[in-house]
A and B are shown apart, each in its own frame.
Chain A
Amino acid sequence: MRDLLPILKSLKSNYGASLLFIFQVAITFTILVNAIYLAIDKRQSIARPSGLDEQNVLYIATNLPVEEAAQAGQLEQDLNNLSALPGVEYASVSSGVPLSGWGRFIEIATKPDSKYDTFSGYYGGDLNLLKAFGAKLVAGTEFTPSAELTVRTDGHKDAIDIMITQSLAESLYSDQWEQVVGKTIYINNKPQRVVGVIDTLQAAWPTWVVVEHVVLAPVKEADSMVYYVIRTRFGQQDAVLDSALTYLTSLYGRKIDKYETFEQVKMNAYSAENAASNTLFGVIGGLLIVTALGIFGQSRYSIIKRTKLIGIRRAMGASKGQIIRYFVLENAVLCAIGIVIGIIAAIILSNAFSSAFELGTLPPSYMFFGSICTILLGQIAVLYPAFKASQLSPAIATRTV
């Protein structure tokens, strides 16, 4: 610490370069914490649980290639045959698939006369749909078989009993969300009775504000196009997909519109977030390299400039370790000043971002970890120049520079 005073004094005589260095550190810090925050924010939205048994669920969109009057019967037959395939845990039909972009949204109110309190995604299917998704109940009971209906379209208008997600229940009844079981809520102004609360289940649109709000109803829709949701035993997805497609295409006139495993659905759903977070990590990487190069160059510069001084210090008896310590400490002091400015700038930038782009503001822990990273980066970049400085021979002092 004896070096601290000379360091501070020499800053004054060399303020141009020092100021530049401090600026570099401040900007690095500002970008670093904001970019890491944004990248992690993206990662977190990807990592949110969908509520599904993600590894074992797949869907097949297909038609019911029979006359309209026979469609409900064909649906029933398909479901029975799909359930009977080896490796299938549950097969169900659904009016939408989580995160796939294909689904329906509805308006929810707690009173009959209010317009709406919130929005929600909606899935209608047979009694197995909850299990086919692999979602779990946290309150209430499952649907009774008598509640099951079959309609042609828009099943949400016919539903009598429904289940809702805990997140939706909380938005309606806050902490007393469990009370919702047995209550009547209004869906597009039609009364429906809540029988159960689902732990987690996501709606069809990953970037939707209320993606965690879902209503599930036991209403099958035997339309010209249906989505079969199949949950397989672990590791049997490929085999089940093959046998399901073989079975389905055996019927004349069948068109397979699309099929995907839920893992593929999720990958597509978050491709934008994935790309953005990867880009941000790329930026962070480039940033660290450029800054390290910059600090390296700066340190070399300031050391070359002080070659003679170093020689004098060595001639006066300073050890190699002391020379290294001096430059390492100088670097740390400059970094620290840069970080202080950087923290202020980062807060300003983060506030600007959060008001312009509706993002959260930086939590203080980022400042702490960001500071440690920046100091470490500075120390790593200065080590080699400082080591080279310590190797200078004391005889340098005797030469004119």
Chain B
Amino acid sequence: MISYYIKLAILSLWKTRYMSLLAIIVIAVGIAATMTTYTINYMMTKDPLPSKSDSLFLVRLNNWSPESAYKNRDVETSPIYLSVQDAVNLIRHDKAQAQIPIAGFKDMLKLPTQDAVDAKMTFVRSTTGDFFSSFEVPFLYGSSWSKSSDDSGEQVTVISKKLNDKLFDGQDSVGQTIELGEHQFTVAGVLDDWFILPRFYGESTRAFKAPRDVFVPFQTQLNLALWSPNLQAFECWKEAADSSVAALWASECVWVFFWVELKGESQKSAYMDFLQSYVEQQKALGRFQRPILNELQSPSAYLKEREAYSSDSEIAVWLAICFLALCLLNAMSIIMTKFQGKAGEVALRRAVGASSVDLFQQYMIETGIIGLLGGVLGLLLTQICLFFSSQLYTHLSKSIMAMSSELMLITVVLSVLSSLVFGLLPIANAIRVQPATQLKSL
């Protein structure tokens, strides 16, 4: 029976093709608007690393002036970053499963064979080898640098696929050398395509920008005194002893984000205990003169506190949902018009014995097909809209504008379901026709 209804439905769709097309287009436009805004909003607010969302934490210690609270807030909070000495101490104690300082500098990058004028100013991320394993960073060639490189601060580097394509034509460049300023770094690994969204581990204002192209060990940055004062925010409550970089490393200025990976509650509470004893020990040395406010903050809590998300995309989703409702109402009135013309057909089929349930099924199938076609067309339109959005939203990364396959499936299901719901009234109207009244006029 179903296949017969599908055949009838297709025939009927063809008979009223302009009306049907109009309904399909209107549904498609509504679906496209909703899914475009929803995709953007979803990609911007999703959990960046679902497998690690309850095991990664930002370490916050209350290292601030004895005279006033950090930022002078009434409710005292800890700075979001650590001083170099605390980061180094925490790494040395090695109490967490993974320890990931996030710092950086910028320098002129070139190949040893290139001329100095070809060097490009490049942002460099300094961290530890744990960065790649904890944040599940994929490698194309080679691997992360070794633990010993972290400890001694060797001049090794991991570069992005993009940079590898540019400098080495995409060849396996492991073992090759690049120059950062006056220093040479040996390539230990090349990343595969990797774009974490939102990028939670650094400054919240850059949460939707691409990760950096060059990674070097944190200890190497410290050893070589590589420092770019205008690259990142750093906050000091106490002047460094002098203006040298070494003095900055030894100062109380905070600017190093410090993430740790801790599996399970027991590791987490053990690490909290460790932080407590660490800060107490530092207090005994005359540091940390404020109340102890140690904190292990999750990526989502950090992004939320730093207001990384703009509410614009959420507003847009709500507007688009209203817009979809409007489109469906429009489709409903078009379908009603369509079925109005069927009064004769309905009467005839009822008169020759079809039950109203049969007719209901048949028309639901017809409406469902309209919804399906609308959904598929809407999906195509969504891709076009996302393409244009990626041109328009130049401040965001291009990969925000990508739809996952689940979202695509949801889109089509949403379209079919909503057209069925909105088709109920027109169908009910159509099959209520009294056979006798219509048959007279046939």
Interface residues of A (CB under 8 A from B): 16-17, 20-21, 23-24, 27-28, 30-31, 34-35, 38, 61, 68, 101-102, 107, 115-116, 152-154, 189, 223-225, 227, 255, 257-258, 268, 271-272, 275-276, 278-280, 283, 286-287, 290-291, 293-294, 297-298, 300-301, 304-305, 349, 353, 356-358, 400-401
Complex interface: chain B residues within 8 A of A61 (CB): 230
Indicate if the CB atoms of A357 and B395 lie closer than 8 Å: no
Residue on A nearest B392 in the bound complex, by CB = A275
Known contacts A283-B320, A294-B333, A297-B337: A255-B121 contact under CB 8 Å: yes
CA distance A307 to B85 in the complex (A): 87
Min CB gap B337→A, angstroms: 4
Complex interface: chain A residues within 8 A of B9 (CB): none
Interface residues of B (CB under 8 A from A): 22, 26, 29-30, 33, 37, 68, 72, 106, 108, 121, 205, 228-230, 236, 243, 310-312, 314-316, 318-320, 322-323, 325-327, 329-330, 332-334, 336-337, 340, 389, 392-395, 425, 429, 441
Known contacts A38-B315, A278-B392, A279-B316: A297-B429 contact under CB 8 Å: no
Residue on B nearest A269 in the bound complex, by CB = B395
For B441, give its contact among A30, A102, A272, A401 (CB under 8 Å): A401
Indicate if the CB atoms of A24 and B243 lie closer than 8 Å: no
Complex interface: chain A residues within 8 A of B327 (CB): 290
Indicate if the CB atoms of B230 and A225 lie closer than 8 Å: yes
Indicate if the CB atoms of B441 and A290 lie closer than 8 Å: no
CA distance A328 to B229 in the complex (A): 69
CA distance A271 to B318 in the complex (A): 22
Indicate if the CB atoms of A286 and B29 lie closer than 8 Å: yes
Indicate if the CB atoms of A224 and B329 lie closer than 8 Å: no
Indicate if the CB atoms of A279 and B26 lie closer than 8 Å: no
Indicate if the CB atoms of B333 and A301 lie closer than 8 Å: yes
Indicate if the CB atoms of B72 and A20 lie closer than 8 Å: no
Indicate if the CB atoms of B230 and A24 lie closer than 8 Å: no
Indicate if the CB atoms of A291 and B330 lie closer than 8 Å: yes
Min CB gap B432→A, angstroms: 11
Known contacts A38-B315, A357-B311: A290-B340 contact under CB 8 Å: no
Indicate if the CB atoms of A224 and B323 lie closer than 8 Å: no
For B72, give its contact among A115, A268, A291 (CB under 8 Å): A115
Indicate if the CB atoms of B395 and A102 lie closer than 8 Å: no
Complex interface: chain B residues within 8 A of A107 (CB): 72
Known contacts A27-B329, A31-B326, A225-B228: A272-B336 contact under CB 8 Å: no
Residue on B nearest A226 in the bound complex, by CB = B230
- Further 5 A-B residue pairs, CB within 8 A, beyond A101-B205, A255-B108, A301-B333: A16-B336, A17-B336, A20-B336, A31-B326, A34-B319
CA distance A21 to B320 in the complex (A): 20
B33, B311, B315: residue with the most chain A Cβ atoms closer than 10 Å: B315
- Name 13 interchain pairs, CB-CB below 8 A, sorted by A: A189-B68, A223-B229, A257-B230, A268-B395, A272-B310, A272-B393, A276-B316, A278-B392, A279-B37, A301-B333, A349-B322, A353-B315, A356-B311
Indicate if the CB atoms of A27 and B229 lie closer than 8 Å: no
Indicate if the CB atoms of B322 and A31 lie closer than 8 Å: yes
Indicate if the CB atoms of B395 and A297 lie closer than 8 Å: no
For A20, give its contact among B320, B323, B333 (CB under 8 Å): B333
Complex interface: chain A residues within 8 A of B311 (CB): 356-358
For A257, give its contact among B72, B121, B314, B336 (CB under 8 Å): B121
Min CB gap A24→B, angstroms: 5
Residue on B nearest A302 in the bound complex, by CB = B337
Complex interface: chain A residues within 8 A of B314 (CB): 357
Indicate if the CB atoms of A294 and B230 lie closer than 8 Å: no
For A283, give its contact among B310, B323, B425 (CB under 8 Å): B323
Min CB gap A59→B, angstroms: 12
Min CB gap A345→B, angstroms: 9
Residue on B nearest A258 in the bound complex, by CB = B121
Indicate if the CB atoms of A28 and B229 lie closer than 8 Å: no
Indicate if the CB atoms of A300 and B310 lie closer than 8 Å: no
Min CB gap A60→B, angstroms: 13
For B326, give its contact among A276, A290, A301 (CB under 8 Å): A290
Min CB gap B120→A, angstroms: 11
Indicate if the CB atoms of A287 and B326 lie closer than 8 Å: yes
Residue on A nearest B73 in the bound complex, by CB = A115
Min CB gap B246→A, angstroms: 13
CA distance A23 to B26 in the complex (A): 16
Residue on B nearest A24 in the bound complex, by CB = B329
Indicate if the CB atoms of B333 and A68 lie closer than 8 Å: no
CA distance A300 to B228 in the complex (A): 69
For B229, give its contact among A20, A225, A291 (CB under 8 Å): A225
CA distance A115 to B332 in the complex (A): 61
CA distance A203 to B441 in the complex (A): 77
Indicate if the CB atoms of B243 and A301 lie closer than 8 Å: no
Min CB gap A355→B, angstroms: 12
Indicate if the CB atoms of B325 and A102 lie closer than 8 Å: no
For A21, give its contact among B310, B333, B429 (CB under 8 Å): B333
Indicate if the CB atoms of B22 and A293 lie closer than 8 Å: yes
Min CB gap A42→B, angstroms: 8
Complex interface: chain A residues within 8 A of B318 (CB): 353
CA distance A372 to B148 in the complex (A): 73
Complex interface: chain A residues within 8 A of B322 (CB): 27, 30-31, 349
Known contacts A31-B323, A276-B312: A298-B229 contact under CB 8 Å: no
CA distance A24 to B326 in the complex (A): 6
Complex interface: chain A residues within 8 A of B26 (CB): 290, 293-294
CA distance A286 to B229 in the complex (A): 48
Known contacts A38-B315, A224-B229, A272-B310: A287-B323 contact under CB 8 Å: yes
B72, B320, B325, B389: residue with the most chain A Cβ atoms closer than 10 Å: B72
Nearest 4 pairs of A and B residues by beta carbon: A294-B330, A301-B337, A271-B395, A357-B311
CA distance A294 to B322 in the complex (A): 15
Known contacts A271-B394, A357-B311: A286-B230 contact under CB 8 Å: no
Complex interface: chain B residues within 8 A of A30 (CB): 322
CA distance A152 to B229 in the complex (A): 12
Complex interface: chain B residues within 8 A of A23 (CB): 329
Indicate if the CB atoms of A115 and B68 lie closer than 8 Å: yes
CA distance A31 to B330 in the complex (A): 15
Known contacts A38-B315, A297-B334: A27-B326 contact under CB 8 Å: yes
CA distance A148 to B29 in the complex (A): 62
Residue on A nearest B440 in the bound complex, by CB = A400
Min CB gap A334→B, angstroms: 12
Complex interface: chain B residues within 8 A of A357 (CB): 311, 314-315
Residue on B nearest A42 in the bound complex, by CB = B312
Complex interface: chain B residues within 8 A of A153 (CB): 229, 243
Indicate if the CB atoms of A297 and B392 lie closer than 8 Å: no
Complex interface: chain B residues within 8 A of A298 (CB): 333, 337
Min CB gap B331→A, angstroms: 9
Min CB gap B381→A, angstroms: 10
CA distance A315 to B190 in the complex (A): 84
Min CB gap B202→A, angstroms: 14
CA distance A153 to B389 in the complex (A): 41
Complex interface: chain A residues within 8 A of B121 (CB): 255, 257-258
CA distance A152 to B336 in the complex (A): 76
Complex interface: chain B residues within 8 A of A68 (CB): 243
Residue on A nearest B313 in the bound complex, by CB = A276
Known contacts A31-B323, A271-B395, A301-B337: A16-B315 contact under CB 8 Å: no
Indicate if the CB atoms of B326 and A293 lie closer than 8 Å: no
CA distance A10 to B407 in the complex (A): 45
